[in-house]
Structure 1
Amino acid sequence: MTSFTDLNFKLVVIERLMYDDRTLTPAFRLADLLKERGLGDDPWRYAYDHDLAYKIVPEAREHFAALEISDGLLASVEELTLDGGLRIYRECAPVWDGEDDLFDITVLDDLALLPNLRRISGSEFLAPDLLAVLAERGIDAD
């Protein structure tokens, strides 16, 4: 299985595969994981009660970091969307408003894992040096 170097980039890929395409299953729900572990079933309350507001809940981080994605699924990704309202962000950090750099992608080393990626929308969230990397690879950024 393939491993990612940037969890934030991996999260955007998971968003595409799990919540948009529904090819990476089962869909993760933080509420289900918390309930399964006997930690309640309200992610928002859990985050506040454990001083995790505006942070990634460790249980979600662990899940997504360990999640394996097959090469076949990675090859199916042709487009990614960057947006502060992605569902995966709510599942990772239920108390987050998108006003900080918690989910910023800072490197694009993992582009090689997506051989058919052709477009990234919402690219205004990327630094200029990262936009240059996309251009070099022929990936449309808008």
Structure 2
Amino acid sequence: MATFTDLNFKLVVIEKLMYDDETLTPAFRMADLLKERGLGDDPWTYAYDHDLAFKVVPEAKEYFEALEISDELLASVEELGMDGGLRVYQECAPVWDGEDDLFDIQVLDDLALLPNLRRVCGSEFLGPELRSALAARGIVAD
């Protein structure tokens, strides 16, 4: 199984596979996890009550860090979309407005895990260095 170095990059890949393609299952829902652990079923209330507004809920971070993604699924990724409104972000940080760098990708070392990636939409969310790294690999960044 692949090991990611940048959790925020992994989250974008998870968005594609879990919520867009629905090939990485089951889909993670913060409300379900909270309910299973007897912590309520309202992610917003949980975040506010535990001083987690505008932060990644530790239970979600733990889940996504441990989530294994097969090489076969990773090879199926040809396009990624970056946007502040990704569902995976809502599941990680139920009280987040997209106005800070909470989910900014810092490095693209994990590109090697996606051998068939050809396009990244919303690349304006990446800095110039990271967009250049995409271009150097022949990946369209728009």
TM-score by length of 1: 1.00
- State the match for 1:118 in structure 2: 118
Alpha-carbon deviation of 1:40? 0.3
The percentage of aligned residue pairs carrying the same residue is 82
Q: State the 1:93 CA deviation.
A: 0.1
* Structure 1 segment 88-107 matched on structure 2, within 5 A: 88-107=88-107
Question: Per-residue deviation at 1:124?
Answer: 0.3
| Amino acid paired to 1:130 | L
Per the TM alignment, residue 103 of structure 1 is displaced from its structure 2 partner at its CA by: 0.2
Matching residue of 1:19: 19
How large is the RMSD of aligned CA atoms in angstroms?
0.3
User: What residue is the counterpart of 2:62 in the other structure?
Assistant: 62
Offset at 1:91?
A: 0.2
CA distance in 2, matches of 1:82, 1:31: 24
Letter of the 2:9 counterpart = F
Structure 2 counterpart of 1:56, one-letter code: V
* Number of residue pairs the alignment of both structures matches: 142
Structure 1, gaps ≥5 residues long = none
Measure, in 1, the Cα distance between the counterparts of 2:68 and 2:101: 25
Q: CA deviation at 1:121?
A: 0.3
Aligned match of 2:8: 8
